[in-house]
Chain A
Amino acid sequence: MTSIKVELKQHQAEKLREVCRSFGNQEGELINVLHKAQGIFGYLPAEVQEMVAEELNVPVARVYGVVTFYSFFSMIPKGRNPISICTGTACYVRGAEKVLDEFRKQLSIGIGETTPDGKFSINCLRCVGACGLAPVVMIGEKTYGRVAPDEVKAILKEYEND
């Protein structure tokens, strides 16, 4: 699985069990449970998957299979300011790739990676449905539209004191 080992704290484990219970510990609710779990932990480390498997009474392999199938689920913690670059067709045509390259260059990390200080992570999104604003970049909940590569530095600067 993953090399990142975490120990679930007592209250975290209890919270996770509560999520499973709220869905009646039904195996058919696996995806809903994982959505909630990722909402709590920010990502889905092996320990969380193991606990979900136990609670829903399904093999861990089944949980892992679902987690790795869907791009929305992540097994690596995201940065405090997760950068999502839309690489849908409209954004691609309007130069998303150059914007992505600039973020990678500025932060010296690749797609799906997190900076060593945990401040930023870069991910690609398929389409946020804001094609009128292409190319679109989201940092956390904030959306930046019509981003040009030379604006990247200034955008990152907004998060300087974080």
Chain B
Amino acid sequence: MLNEETVIRNRAEGGKTSATQLRIALRNCGVIDPEDIEDAIGQGAYAALAKVLADGDPEGTIRTIMDSGLRGRGGGGFPTGLKWQLSARPQADQKYVVCNADEGDPGAFMDRSILEGDPHTVLEAMAICGYCIGATKGLIYIRAEYPLAIERLHIAIRQARDYGFLGEDLFGSGFAFDIEMRYGAGAFVCGEETALIHSMEGLRGEPTLKPPFPSESGYLGKPTNVNNVETFASVPPIILKGAAWFASIGTEKSKGTKVFALAGKINKVGLIEVPMGTTLREVIYEIGGGLQHGKAFKAVQTGGPSGGCLTTAHLDTPIDYDNLIAAGSMMGSGGMIVMDEDDCMVSVAKFFLDFTVEESCGKCTPCRIGNKRLYELLEKITRGQGTREDLDHLYNLSLVIKDTSLCGLGQSSPNPVLSTLHNFRDEYLAHVDEHKCPAGVCRELIRYEIVPENCVGCTACARNCPVNAISGERKQIHFIDQAICIKCGACLEKCKFDAVIIN
């Protein structure tokens, strides 16, 4: 149950109360023993399911979810209640509730933590959804890369069956619901719901055009409701505490809390859960403790490969679905990677495109070929061979890919390019016009040099140079031969006197 203790207050230096975390989806993570159903019940697990079944009013329950303002936490932000309503509508002999646990965003681990820390909340919410839409079967599609989460789900499902929370005649209501597991096999595109459904059917995980939506024709052609792990984890508290309570948290159009996986060059990495509307500054500096090694903040990447890079100008933007999209990024599933002055934004865009190129399923041309061309253009620029024309090409091609791709992957894949082009144009220009990489990342564009004034001739750099490019006697000023140097940066790491610099 939610109570005052689960509201964790972070105290900033100086003792004044600052940004507040509020745990709704993560309420039981780290609190209960996830392998002991009694522990979960002690914290109120399955009470919401009991209430829903006792009320016997599926439409009313759907209305509660709609009124709460809960939106899909997997990235799209589609209203959950509306999705349930759409899935409840068609008449069918069999319907399915699917939990999307194919957390493929690199740098995101919210779903994994919920499944490992509180698997029962997901099972409970799936049963509630099943009751509301008229489904008796639930499927959890989970990445094979998450063995511990899989094991704990198996344990949880077994225990829930033993206690009569899954199976026939739940709580004497006559309602039957059971859950099976399906395993992903490493394909990012399977986070897209039509691709996920094809993968569950044992096929290549290629998306198909919508409509028909899964709510009409999904798994095995039956109406299917697909929700993300975190979305499900938010459902039981809404049932128990009411739609008004949930809707009182957050911003006008984004209600409740969001879990973020804070990572990158930040002091305190890990999962956080904050009310919608918390600013990036509060998250990064107050909860995250600021940047490592006192470096300057440069960008924060949200939304994974579908999102964008935001800058200092966005630090005071309240985080919600609509603000992030307006800023050229997106909520995504909640990855939040902080970058500092040493990160080259052109290289970051290239990193994400490399990911997209590899993960594109190849079904539609704009995504399969367009992203490859984007990647090649970025590579050209990071090698110092780009022109201003290339920047225009990048921009135009990005728009075409967004407009013409079949599924969400292609429609959002150019976002890292567009957002960096927009927010860090100077850096692109430095690569193109001056053939320089201001962050000192792009190997072809940098030179390691020794500052004679700082060099004490300790020989540390020369001893660690893998290609013997550094010459100089002991206690004499050293010199790097640029013709031999492979720009590995070993000398820079070893020098204790700040004598090696990147130029």
Are A125 and B145 in contact, with the CB atoms below 8 A? yes
Residue B270 at the A interface, CB < 8 A?
Answer: yes
Are A90 and B337 in contact, with the CB atoms below 8 A? yes
Looking at A26, A89, A98, A132, the one whose CB has the most chain B CB atoms below 10 A away is A89
Residue B232 at the A interface, CB < 8 A?
Answer: no
Q: CA separation between A92 and B265, bound complex, in Å?
A: 11
Are A31 and B202 in contact, with the CB atoms below 8 A? yes
Q: Return chain B residues, CB-CB under 8 Å to A93.
A: 263-265, 337, 339, 343
Q: Name A89's contact: one of B203, B220, B270, B351 (CB within 8 Å).
A: B351
Q: CA separation between A34 and B113, bound complex, in Å?
A: 27
> What 0/1 readout, one digit per residue, does chain A (120-159) give for beta carbons within 8 Å of chain B?
0000011111111010000000000000000000000000
Are A89 and B106 in contact, with the CB atoms below 8 A? yes
Q: CA separation between A149 and B222, bound complex, in Å?
A: 51
Q: Return chain B residues, CB-CB under 8 Å to A90.
A: 106-107, 263-264, 269, 337
Q: Return chain A residues, CB-CB under 8 Å to B113.
A: 129
Residue A108 at the B interface, CB < 8 A?
Answer: no
Are A29 and B185 in contact, with the CB atoms below 8 A? no
Q: Name A70's contact: one of B182, B205, B355, B488 (CB within 8 Å).
A: B205
Q: CA separation between A126 and B305, bound complex, in Å?
A: 12
Q: CA separation between A72 and B199, bound complex, in Å?
A: 13
Are A35 and B263 in contact, with the CB atoms below 8 A? no
Q: Return chain B residues, CB-CB under 8 Å to A126.
A: 104, 106, 186, 188, 355
Residue B395 at the A interface, CB < 8 A?
Answer: no
Chain B residue at minimal CB-CB distance from A34: B185
For chain B, residues 95 to 136, give those with C-beta under 8 angstroms from any C-beta of chain A: 103-109, 112-113
Q: With contacts A71-B187, A126-B106 known, is A131 near B263, CB below 8 A?
A: yes
Are B261 and A92 in contact, with the CB atoms below 8 A? no
Are A69 and B263 in contact, with the CB atoms below 8 A? no
Chain A residue at minimal CB-CB distance from B269: A132
Q: CA separation between A88 and B263, bound complex, in Å?
A: 11
> What 0/1 readout, one digit per residue, does chain B (182-214) give for beta carbons within 8 Å of chain A?
111111100000000001011111000000000
Q: CA separation between A57 and B144, bound complex, in Å?
A: 25
For chain A, residues 1 to 39, give those with C-beta under 8 angstroms from any C-beta of chain B: 26-32, 34-35
Q: CA separation between A119 and B489, bound complex, in Å?
A: 29
Are A131 and B269 in contact, with the CB atoms below 8 A? yes
Are B186 and A72 in contact, with the CB atoms below 8 A? yes
Are B337 and A89 in contact, with the CB atoms below 8 A? yes
Q: Name B107's contact: one of A70, A73, A89 (CB within 8 Å).
A: A89
Q: With contacts A29-B202, A31-B199, A72-B145 known, is A127 near B186, CB below 8 A?
A: no
Chain A residue at minimal CB-CB distance from B338: A93
> What is the distance, in angstroms, from A152's C-beta to the closest C-beta of chain B?
13
Count of inter-chain pairs, beta carbons less than 8 A: 107
Chain A residue at minimal CB-CB distance from B464: A150
- Count B interface residues, CB 8 Å: 44
> What is the distance, in angstroms, from B181's C-beta to the closest C-beta of chain A?
9
Are B263 and A92 in contact, with the CB atoms below 8 A? no
Residue A78 at the B interface, CB < 8 A?
Answer: no
Residue B146 at the A interface, CB < 8 A?
Answer: yes
Are B186 and A132 in contact, with the CB atoms below 8 A? no
Residue B24 at the A interface, CB < 8 A?
Answer: no
Q: CA separation between A100 and B108, bound complex, in Å?
A: 21
Looking at B107, B109, B201, B352, the one whose CB has the most chain A CB atoms below 10 A away is B107
Q: CA separation between A136 and B113, bound complex, in Å?
A: 17
Q: CA separation between A89 and B183, bound complex, in Å?
A: 23
Q: With contacts A90-B106, A127-B108 known, is A31 near B301, CB below 8 A?
A: no
Q: CA separation between A135 and B188, bound complex, in Å?
A: 21
Are B144 and A72 in contact, with the CB atoms below 8 A? yes
Q: CA separation between A90 and B220, bound complex, in Å?
A: 37
Residue B304 at the A interface, CB < 8 A?
Answer: yes
Q: With contacts A66-B203, A73-B185 known, is A89 near B265, CB below 8 A?
A: no
Q: CA separation between A3 and B145, bound complex, in Å?
A: 28
> What 0/1 readout, one digit per residue, does chain A (41-85) give for beta carbons within 8 Å of chain B?
000000000000000000000000110011111000000000000
For chain B, residues 229 to 247, give those with C-beta under 8 angstroms from any C-beta of chain A: none
Q: Return chain A residues, CB-CB under 8 Å to B204.
A: 65-66, 69
> What is the distance, in angstroms, from A71's C-beta to the closest C-beta of chain B?
4
Q: CA separation between A131 and B109, bound complex, in Å?
A: 8
Chain B residue at minimal CB-CB distance from A97: B351
> What is the distance, in angstroms, from B381's C-beta to the closest C-beta of chain A?
18
> What is the distance, in angstroms, from B17's C-beta to the closest C-beta of chain A?
25
Are A131 and B107 in contact, with the CB atoms below 8 A? yes
Looking at A32, A35, A92, A94, the one whose CB has the most chain B CB atoms below 10 A away is A92
> What is the distance, in angstroms, from B261's C-beta to the closest C-beta of chain A?
6
Are A127 and B264 in contact, with the CB atoms below 8 A? no
Q: CA separation between A133 and B304, bound complex, in Å?
A: 18
Residue B276 at the A interface, CB < 8 A?
Answer: no
Q: Return chain B residues, CB-CB under 8 Å to A134.
A: 263, 269
Q: Return chain A residues, CB-CB under 8 Å to B269.
A: 90, 131-132, 134
Q: CA separation between A31 and B145, bound complex, in Å?
A: 14
Residue B335 at the A interface, CB < 8 A?
Answer: yes
> What is the distance, in angstroms, from A148's C-beta to the closest C-beta of chain B?
9
Are A127 and B106 in contact, with the CB atoms below 8 A? yes
Q: CA separation between A98 and B441, bound complex, in Å?
A: 12
Are B264 and A72 in contact, with the CB atoms below 8 A? no
Residue B361 at the A interface, CB < 8 A?
Answer: yes
Q: CA separation between A70 and B270, bound complex, in Å?
A: 28
Chain A residue at minimal CB-CB distance from B304: A89
> What is the distance, in angstroms, from B221's C-beta to the closest C-beta of chain A?
12
Are B203 and A88 in contact, with the CB atoms below 8 A? no
24 A-B pairs within 8 Å (CB atoms) are namely A28-B201, A28-B202, A30-B202, A30-B203, A31-B182, A32-B182, A34-B185, A35-B183, A65-B204, A66-B204, A70-B186, A70-B187, A72-B144, A72-B184, A89-B304, A89-B337, A90-B263, A93-B339, A94-B265, A129-B145, A130-B109, A131-B261, A131-B263, A131-B269
The 6 closest A-B pairs by CB, nearest first: A88-B106, A70-B185, A129-B109, A30-B202, A90-B263, A72-B186
Taking A72-B186, A93-B265, A126-B186 as given, write out 7 further A-B residue pairs in contact, using a Cβ cutoff of 8 Å, ordered by the A residue number: A32-B183, A90-B264, A126-B106, A127-B105, A127-B109, A129-B108, A131-B263
